[in-house]
Amino acid sequence: MAITMQVLKLLIQCKCARSMGFPSGQFSRVDNFSTSCQWRARKKVSQYSTVDTERYSSLVRAVLSSKTSSQTPASIDDEDCQLYGPVIRSRPPSQQPKVPKNLHPLLNEAKGQSEYVPGPLARITLQRDSNRTSPSVTRILQKTMPPDQAFYLERWKRRMIAELGEEGFKEYTLNIFRQGHLFHSAIEDHFTQETPAKEDPERPLEVSGFVESASHVLNDITGVRAIESAVHHSTLQYLGIVDCVAQYRGSLCLIDWKTSEKPKPSLRHTYDNPLQVAAYIGALNSDTNYNYQVKNGLIVVAYKDGSPAHAHFLNSEQIGTFWEKWLLRLEEFAEK
């Protein structure tokens, strides 16, 4: 009985000590009592605790151990077709080149190719009063310039104006035209003089480089038939002035002289010049003032620094291609 009373007293002391916050270690007599009455945090339950780990671990081992997939591109297409329906493939845009509505012939059946007969050169003056309704080749090409080409031309113009100013750019443009005119005059003098002089004391220094640049091409030109002569296409109603018609290395060509400050070693660097040559050839072949016709063209690009000019020869097949492109531009001009 005494022992029981003593145990009860110890239990009461233990509860009092815990209620007052004293650690249980300070009461050696209650060291052996359990402290299971303390609050403990509840353990969180994982969302993967209900997963059949044995089943999925075997699946992972099967995937990792296989070297190749059982699916193929064909089977994937079949599955996609069943799920989403058949694939409707869009047709690529038409790549067929445009064809002129009126494919007017380049050559004139009423004419033949006559041999060169020495005599006066053709220098037909352009009669603007009688051809007021006929636009020039230059105007048609300017009005139908492709958007990308017009963009780069406008960007170059703005850059030059920013560098030179409005007045400076106007002066620069006039100087370019003046150099071109002087160069054409020098070429004309070269072919019209009986004994062309290598050095002309009256020739402006600013054009001497261009003449020197084209000198190796001039040596290959013979049998000149026309210089700075007007042509008119009576059916298609356009006109222009050709620079020269002559033999170049044995082929009768319509020659167009160009000046440039930058090298133009490739035909694509000449932009619309091949269309211009084709247009002149078509007009000359149609014009009754000329008793012959031309199939080939030549674009000579001379440089101010005297470096060798680039001569771009256009055979009859190339001229035919550019002739069709010219007809398209002509139709576009008529629609504006």
Active site residues: 243, 256, 258
Q: How far apart are CA 218 and CA 300, in angstroms?
A: 10
Give the whole-angstrom CA distance, residue 235 versus residue 156: 37
Q: Which region holds residue 237: left if phi is over 0, alpha if psi is between -120 and 50, else beta?
A: left
- The residues that bridge with 238 in the sheet, in sequence order, are 233
Geometric angle at alpha carbon 51, from 46 and 57, rounded to 5°: 120
Rounded-to-integer distance, Cα 11 and Cα 164, Å: 108
Find the distance separating the first CA and the last CA of the chain, reported in whole Å: 128
Handedness of CA 264, 270, 274, 277 (dihedral sign): negative
Q: Is the dihedral of CA 289, 290, 293, 299 positive or negative?
A: negative
Q: Looking at beta carbons, which pairs linking 265-273 to residues 24 or more positions away fall under 8 Å?
A: 265/310, 267/299, 267/312, 267/314, 270/299, 270/301, 270/312, 271/149, 272/141, 272/145, 272/149, 273/299
The tokens of 156 are what?
């170059």
Structure-block tokens of residue 123: 């220098």
Contact present, 293 and 108 (Cβ < 8 Å): yes
Helices (H), the chain: 2-19, 53-65, 73-84, 137-143, 147-192, 205-218, 273-286, 316-335
